[in-house]
């Protein structure tokens, strides 16, 4: 009897002393495999090349320092051409065939939405989907527990911009040019919220993704007497609208959402772009914060061409911080559950690239504040503090 009791006690001690060394697929002794789905052939293929390049720059930096718990991080990139159907095929390939540990940075709202059922079925987490849509952090939606969003939503950005405009001039007449897709849909949500808060009506003009002519919209803003115009585009849209306004002699203050914080807006718009204000949700690439400083340093070391540096290359670099932090938190023997639990322990985490991030079981929203940047002499300068 004594012998049996001692065996049981010893077994219990051994069991307690043992760490659970099982890992999820995609993790070997030397490597962690990550899956990234980008647009390499569709309407935003330019972004699809820049973002993973930025990510790889940071992952190479981490790998050169020994990786995460001794494992090198390797990223596989698949193409979806901004087609949700292809995004599903790519996600299935990465999960079932390539056996990645987790997904990261799936670009575009509809492609990211399309893979929700796969995340739920396979239990694979998606870190930092590359879309500013707030639907990604809506915890009531399918597979929300597997998605860790970083970006502040377009709705929040729009609302903060309208709040700023009304603070400055309560009589301002505001207009918004929105893309007729999920991006614009999300921006309109924030616009409706601000309209309700301030009791105002915003003049709304839509345009199609990929449009090159904005004369009609600009004329309508002019006719409507808009003093402040928000442009929900990427690069071409703000540049063309501001240049058109200059050509027809229409003077208004122009604003943009996150994707317009690209140095090319200033370069291409020239004089017409001077004073352009954009909402942004990360420590912007020109700032003196630790993240952007490291970014500039690594870009120099790696001889990243000047034309590649900027918002989207930086985006890949910045969101990779969350991925690496999650992998660190997942411990020496990472599983997908440990990765998710690890991220959910982040509280006011200062990454250097974002304002402090907090995740919890019921909150996967990431950044929830916005800073306003203004183009002054071709450079972006912060003109406000972080706003919510």
Partner 1 sequence: MIKGRFDDENLKWIPVLIIVVFLFPFLLKSATFSYKYYLYILNIAGIYIILTVGLDILSGFTGLMSLGHAAFLAIGAYTSAILVDQVGLPFELSLIITPIIVGLFGFVIGFPALRIEGMYLGLTTMGFGFIVKRLIIAFREWTGGSGGLHVSKATFFGITINNDWDNYFMIYTFAILAIIIARRIVKSKLGRAFMAIRDSEQAAQASGINLAKYKMMSFFISGMFAGFAGVLFAHTSHFISTDHFDILLSILFIVMVLVGGVGSIYGAVLGTLFIVLMENMFIPLFEDGMSQFVHLEAGDFQVFIFGLIMLIFIIFQPLGLYGMWLKTRIYWKIFPFNPRKRFT
Between 33 and 165, CB nearer to partner 1: 33
**Smallest gap from residue 62 Cβ to partner 1 (A):** 24
Minimum gap (Å) between residue 211 Cβ and partner 1 = 14
Q: Please, which residue, 113 or 237, has the CB nearer to partner 1?
A: 113
Kindly state the smallest distance separating residue 40's Cβ from partner 1, in Å: 4
End-to-end, the C-alpha distance of the chain in Å comes to: 66
- The Cα 21–Cα 276 span in angstroms is 53
Alpha-helix runs per DSSP H in 66-150: 84-92, 109-114, 116-122
Residues that bind partner 1 (CB under 8 A): 40-42, 45, 49, 79, 81-85, 88-89, 92-93, 95-97, 99, 108-111, 113-114, 116-117, 121, 133, 135, 141-142, 180-182, 184-186
* Residue whose CB is less far from partner 1, 93 or 341: 93
Tell which residue, 250, 231, 229, 222, has the closest CA to residue 174.
229
Contacts of 241 (CB under 8 A, 6+ apart): 177, 214, 217, 218, 229, 231, 233, 254
Name beta bridge partners: 31. Answer: 72
Q: Closer CB to partner 1, residue 78 or residue 325?
A: 78
Q: How far apart are CB 186 and partner 1 at their closest, in Å? A: 8
Contacts 24+ apart (CB under 8 A), 241-247: 241/177, 241/214, 241/217, 242/269, 242/272, 242/273, 242/276, 243/269, 243/272, 244/214, 244/215, 244/218, 245/218, 245/221, 245/272, 246/271, 246/272
Write the Ramachandran bin of 81: left for phi over 0, alpha for psi from -120 to 50, otherwise beta. left
CB closer to partner 1 out of 93 and 387:
93
Q: Give me the least distance between CB of 212 and partner 1, in Å please.
A: 17
**In the bound complex, what is the minimum distance in angstroms from residue 113's beta carbon to partner 1?**
5
**Pick 119 or 166: Cβ nearer partner 1:** 119
């Amino acid at each position: 009897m004594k012998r049996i009791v001692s065996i049981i006690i010893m077994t219990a001690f051994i069991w307690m002393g043992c760490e659970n060394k099982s890992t999820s697929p995609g993790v070997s002794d030397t490597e962690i495999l990550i899956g990234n789905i980008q647009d390499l052939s569709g309407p935003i293929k330019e972004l699809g090349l820049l973002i993973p390049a930025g990510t790889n720059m940071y992952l190479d930096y981490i790998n050169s320092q020994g990786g995460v718990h001794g494992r090198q991080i390797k990223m596989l990139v698949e193409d979806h051409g901004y087609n949700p159907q292809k995004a599903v095929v790519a996600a299935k390939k990465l999960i079932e065939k390539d056996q990645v540990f987790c997904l990261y940075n799936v670009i575009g709202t509809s492609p990211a939405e399309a893979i929700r059922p796969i995340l739920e079925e396979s239990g694979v987490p998606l870190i930092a989907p590359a879309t500013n849509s707030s639907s990604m952090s809506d915890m009531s939606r399918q597979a929300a527990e597997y998605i860790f969003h970083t970006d502040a939503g377009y709705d929040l950005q729009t609302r903060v911009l309208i709040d700023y405009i009304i603070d400055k001039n309560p009589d301002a007449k505001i207009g918004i040019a929105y893309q007729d897709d999920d991006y614009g849909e999300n921006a309109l949500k924030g616009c409706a919220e601000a309209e309700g808060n301030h009791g105002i009506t915003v003049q709304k003009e839509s345009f199609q993704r990929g449009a090159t002519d904005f004369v009609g919209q600009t004329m309508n803003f002019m006719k409507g007497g808009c003093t402040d115009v928000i442009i929900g585009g990427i690069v071409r849209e703000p540049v063309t609208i501001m240049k058109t306004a200059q050509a027809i002699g229409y003077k208004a203050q122009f604003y943009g959402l996150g994707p317009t914080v690209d140095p090319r807006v200033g370069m291409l718009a020239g004089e017409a772009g001077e004073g352009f204000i954009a909402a942004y949700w990360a420590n912007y690439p020109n700032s003196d914060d630790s993240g952007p400083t490291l970014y500039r340093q690594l870009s120099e070391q790696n001889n990243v061409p000047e034309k590649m540096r900027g918002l989207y290359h930086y985006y890949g670099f910045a969101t990779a911080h969350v991925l690496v932090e999650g992998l660190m938190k997942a411990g020496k023997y990472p599983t997908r559950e440990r990765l998710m639990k690890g991220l959910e322990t982040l509280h006011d985490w200062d990454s250097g690239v974002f304002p402090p991030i907090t995740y919890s079981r019921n909150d996967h929203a990431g950044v929830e504040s916005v800073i306003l940047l203004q183009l002054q002499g071709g450079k972006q300068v912060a003109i406000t503090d972080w706003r919510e």
